[in-house]
Structure 1
Amino acid sequence: MKSMVELKCDVLVIGGGAAGSRAAYEAKRRHPELNVTLVVAGKYGLSGSTNLIASESLGINAPFNYMGDGDSPEVYLQDMLETGGGLSDPVLCRVIAEEACARIEELMALGLQFDSRDGRPVQRKLSGCTKARSLTCGGSTGREIVAVLKKANAAIGVNVLENARILDLVQDDNGRVCGAVGLVGEEPLHVSAGAVVLATGGAGRAFRKNVNPPTVEGDGWAMAYRAGARLVNMEFFQIGPAVVKPRIKFIIHSHMWRLRPKLTNALGEEFLGRYCPTGVDVGEVVDAKAMSYPFSVRTIAMYLDIAIFKEILEGRGTPDDGIIFDVTHAGEEVLRVKAPITYEFLKNAGVDLARETIELGLVVQNFNGGVLIDADGFTGVEGLYAAGEVTGGVHGSDRPGGNNLIDTQVFGYRAGRKAAEAALCFKEKGTCRHAPKGLPVKIEGVSPQAGEEAILEKSAYLYYRELTVVRRAQGLKKVLEFIDAQKRQAQSQMLINRLLVGEILASAALAREESRGTHYREDFPATGSDWVKRLVVYRGPDGELVVKTEKL
């Protein structure tokens, strides 16, 4: 049995993306005397979804009105509430609308440089936005944000622990979160802390097809749920088109769809027309996709995603689970002007889009739901705060493009500061027991045990097939039956977390008997006025999973 690595800190921040980096920076800046430790699953600056360069452009929203189109915090707020389908928390949305500019100005003061024209940042209009409010650093906006925060964290003395995966939280006898356990490299790890900030991202890697880096499997949700936190809007997450061959992680959106690509299945058939209702033009559907990257029932672009998904599942896709995407008719000059990052990225991967086709599939990208937080990132469990994609409440059934990144900065700022205050109070009063009676996982039971890798693979396939684009009661129940059969014998914390995440997602999707935003129930295709309420998932008094409807 391996010995355990023991660490102590005042504030523990779990996750090295934009949200975690900001939370650690603000915690240390708020109270420089505290020991703030940032735990990163891989190498800091490269780990986490924020650090992927996976699209033509990656935006962060703020209503600066640089383009002079009348944007303002109030217009921004209304866009969030409208796109959210009535399920976005207006209090949290107002916080973002009113604080976005200040948080970005702070990043710029740290050295972040956005794409500009004539010395002024350029703002672009993304899906779900009525105004041009998205700032970009090409396709590397998230990575650039983390880079400036990494440098700032080093300058003020934030400690960083790399290659460490946290799998569960530790609570004292009073229920206060006072640390976490997991692995650092292959060694078991226990970190004691006065307060914890979860910034672990979503769960894309729990699905067979995704555009997320390793370890982004929903561990944050699983450990928060067990600790007593509530989760909200878990049925809403984003799936969209991405390259599956060549085998790179790169999504296809905006300008590529305006080029009117030819889409064919493995049999060489153009198939989109078979899925468009009478009166809906194929060309209009493709054009709509340019302003609606993720699958959503809000626009007619939904028919394109459904078409691709069904062609693949019904056996007419390629061996790599894709369809053929052809823009060779556009020519090299147009591609270099309209989609330069996409063109160069794929050319470096061995495909010249001006002369060759690629294969496109649908991948899980981003989650709208998560741990329910208040305006300060507090989860309702003493000692536990959260920020970024792991959280829920800010985004409803859908969200404006560019909102995920600003969410990391606004609530990373707030959660970090409040966690530092809580840790300082804990340090001064010493009223809670810092050392728990026992750790929640066995040292030898963290990594997958014999035979569990096959179960993880099967879950990834099943979750992708039944929990993504097209959902039906039969398929959702199949997921829950699989989980029920496996969880009784699951031994490792990794598998336990994976099964719990699937149970949470499937239970929420099964409970919402309508279609709204990114949640499409083929057996309940209408959007119901009586469903303008959110679903909250939590652990019941006897350990059972509870799904409860709640009016905002």
Structure 2
Amino acid sequence: MNELRCDVLVIGGGAAGSRAAYEAKRSHPQLEVTLVVAGKYGTSGSTNLIASESLGINAPFNYMGDGDDPDVYFQDMLDTGGGLSDPDLCRVIADEACTRVEELMALGLEFDSEAGHPVQRKLSGCTKARSLTCGGATGREIVRVLKKANISIGVQVIEDVRILDLVKDDNGRVCGAVGLNEKKPIFITARAVILATGGAGRIFRKNVNPPSIEGDGWAMAYRAGARLVNMEFFQVGPAVVKPKVQFIIHSHMWRLQPKLTNVHGEEFLKHYCPEGVEVAEVIEAKAMSYPFSVRTVAKYLDIAIFKELMAGRGTLDDGVYFDVTHVEEEVLKQRAPITYDFLKRAGVDLTREKIELGLVVQNFNGGILIDVNGFTGVEGLYAAGEVTGGVHGADRPGGNNLIDTQVFGYRAGRAAAEYALGQKEKSKLPVIVQDMSSELVKPVTEEEQVALQRSADLYYRELTIVRRAEGLRRVLDYISEHKPNNQNNILGNRLLVGQILALAALTREESRGTHYREDFPDSEPAWQQRIIISQGTNGEPAVTADKF
């Protein structure tokens, strides 16, 4: 086993991990900071995808003069979060967002601008225009400038590393991590560890995430003793399934009133709209409600597509037809230039051809419960970005995910570095790690590969748009059947994450935000409490709930 040592280990090379590594090294240059990346630094992770018309980062600069300020921003987060956003975390983001963005700009990040200042756009869940963009490449540009900064100040970067578990010393302190580096076991000791591994979109059959986003961070943190919160809330929404590209359809495209038909050519949305709700109204609402959420009437569109697909009336690529051929080319170029050009390069002319639209898992609101400094409650372990939970609640404003990475990447990096300074000795390689190495390199068997594929299908059907008790129990029964026989860490992590998601969704007997229980369709005041899941004394998930 390859053994490395450092002071601060950051796991994940997206926007959160890059910011955390930068701040840890910048605040204490004498520390050895190591950043491990699942693929190639600058291209791996969800942050680096160009997957929508306008990927933004929120900050209440009020460049557009519509009265935005930190207090308005704070209230938007609480309102959109459905009563489940942590007010302390939201306050930190509201107050520090502008400073963190200004620091990115000082590193060379250039936003879309006009009239001498960056343009800010109003995205879903926002009452003001506060999202800054670099076209559809905002996340990639953030990582680009942070990568350059990290290299310049001496952060060590190791690519092609998939971390699969954390290691604790005899005092219960996280002291490193084990994983695979180009399929060979690697162990890295550290005085402090920061998890920035993103969400778990790849455990679902349909998603817009890169291969490394499988929920390993949650599984590792759970086993280490961290608590997970709001795990029933994650974002699913319309995306292109044919041509085969990873691209989300939101905002301006829906304002063009597209025609939606199933594989039989039937305009189906009207069958799912209740009395008094018009099809045009639902489609218009979708422009300001990208992910599925019960907050607006746009929910009927997502439910309609999902039920058509589940009923077998979708295309071979699990999609419905999305048609804007009635829109003139100049209008498309003006209203949705990135979408038009992206699909044109993929071989589709939207003025002449339909595309196929499906529902994909995109982003998670829940995750590791952290405090305002990214501390997980487990000594030596910090976290930042999508792997964390608490700030977003039942839903989140569009553009909030990227600012979350910068605000809490900043705080987690500095807190972990400060903690590492107080640790006198680097941990020695525990004997148990040598035993773990043989499990890490064990290849996925044919039987386990089948289990991975079946779990992805099951999770997509029962855990995404429409949830019911019987379906959620089917997920739990499947996991119970396969977990005892599991000997592979990759499959084990995926089953554990599925179990946690299903348990959280089954526990919440109401509909709120991105969580829709068809058997409990209404939001209930009694359920304005967070569901927290941690490892029980028997090793199985234990559920608690609390109110702010």
**Quick check: TM above 0.5?**
yes
Q: Which residue of the partner structure matches residue 454 of structure 2?
A: 458
- How far 1:448 sits from its partner (Å)? 2.0
1:436 paired with 2:437, answer no
- How far 1:423 sits from its partner (Å)? 1.1
Between the aligned partners of 1:385 and 1:265, the Cα distance in structure 2 is 46
Is the 1:172–1:437 Cα contact (8 Å) retained in structure 2? no
1:542 paired with 2:511, answer no
1:24 partner letter: A
Of 183, 188, 193, 1:186 maps to 183
Q: Secondary structure at the match of 2:68?
A: coil
Q: Which residue of the partner structure matches residue 125 of structure 2?
A: 128
Q: Which residue of the partner structure matches residue 360 of structure 1?
A: 357
Of 264, 267, 276, 1:279 maps to 276
- How far 1:433 sits from its partner (Å)? 4.6
Normalised to the residue count of structure 2, the TM-score between the two structures is 0.99
- 1:73–1:285 Cα change, 3 Å: same
- How far 1:547 sits from its partner (Å)? 1.1
Of 210, 227, 231, 1:230 maps to 227
1:221 paired with 2:206, answer no
1:342 paired with 2:339, answer yes
- 1:198–1:441 Cα change, 3 Å: farther
- How far 1:443 sits from its partner (Å)? 2.0
1:448 paired with 2:444, answer yes
Q: Which residue of the partner structure matches residue 499 of structure 2?
A: 503
Alignment map for 1:125-274 (pairs within 5 Å): 125-274=122-271
Is the 2:191–2:427 Cα contact (8 Å) retained in structure 1? no
Q: Deviations over 1:83-103 (max 9, x none)?
A: 000000000000000000000
Is the 2:59–2:403 Cα contact (8 Å) retained in structure 1? yes
Between the aligned partners of 2:285 and 2:383, the Cα distance in structure 1 is 34
Q: Secondary structure at the match of 2:485?
A: coil
Unaligned stretches of 5+ residues in structure 2: none
Q: Deviations over 1:70-127 (max 9, x none)?
A: 1010000000000000000000000000000000000000000000002210100000
2:224 partner letter: A
- How far 1:541 sits from its partner (Å)? 1.5
Between the aligned partners of 1:132 and 1:274, the Cα distance in structure 2 is 34
Q: Deviations over 1:280-335 (max 9, x none)?
A: 01000000000000000000000000000000000000000000000010021111
- How far 1:442 sits from its partner (Å)? 2.7
Structure 1, 46-55 or 443-452: larger mean CA deviation: 443-452
Calculate percent identity across the aligned residue pairs: 74
Q: Secondary structure at the match of 1:6?
A: strand
Q: Secondary structure at the match of 1:165?
A: strand
2:530 partner letter: R
Between the aligned partners of 1:371 and 1:171, the Cα distance in structure 2 is 18
Q: Deviations over 1:336-378 (max 9, x none)?
A: 1111110110011111111101000000000000000000000
Between the aligned partners of 1:117 and 1:22, the Cα distance in structure 2 is 27
How many residues of Structure 1 are paired with residues of Structure 2 in the alignment?
546
- How far 1:450 sits from its partner (Å)? 3.9
- How far 1:204 sits from its partner (Å)? 0.2
Give RMSD over aligned pairs: 0.9
Normalised to the residue count of structure 1, the TM-score between the two structures is 0.98
Q: Which residue of the partner structure matches residue 54 of structure 1?
A: 51
Between the aligned partners of 2:128 and 2:248, the Cα distance in structure 1 is 23
Of 292, 297, 303, 2:294 maps to 297
Between the aligned partners of 1:45 and 1:182, the Cα distance in structure 2 is 20
Unaligned stretches of 5+ residues in structure 1: none
- How far 1:440 sits from its partner (Å)? 8.4
Between the aligned partners of 2:457 and 2:421, the Cα distance in structure 1 is 45
- 1:326–1:444 Cα change, 3 Å: same
- How far 1:449 sits from its partner (Å)? 3.1
1:471 paired with 2:484, answer no
- How far 1:235 sits from its partner (Å)? 0.2
Of 88, 92, 95, 1:91 maps to 88
Between the aligned partners of 2:434 and 2:11, the Cα distance in structure 1 is 17
Q: Secondary structure at the match of 2:121?
A: coil
Is the 1:173–1:433 Cα contact (8 Å) retained in structure 2? no
- 1:35–1:265 Cα change, 3 Å: same
Between the aligned partners of 1:192 and 1:331, the Cα distance in structure 2 is 59
Q: Deviations over 1:19-49 (max 9, x none)?
A: 0000000000011011100000000000000
Q: Secondary structure at the match of 1:519?
A: coil
Between the aligned partners of 2:162 and 2:541, the Cα distance in structure 1 is 25
Structure 1, 437-446 or 478-487: larger mean CA deviation: 437-446
Between the aligned partners of 1:161 and 1:115, the Cα distance in structure 2 is 32
Q: Secondary structure at the match of 1:268?
A: coil
Between the aligned partners of 1:440 and 1:227, the Cα distance in structure 2 is 18
Structure 1, 262-271 or 332-341: larger mean CA deviation: 332-341
Between the aligned partners of 2:110 and 2:427, the Cα distance in structure 1 is 45
Between the aligned partners of 1:51 and 1:441, the Cα distance in structure 2 is 35
Between the aligned partners of 1:375 and 1:222, the Cα distance in structure 2 is 22
1:325 paired with 2:325, answer no
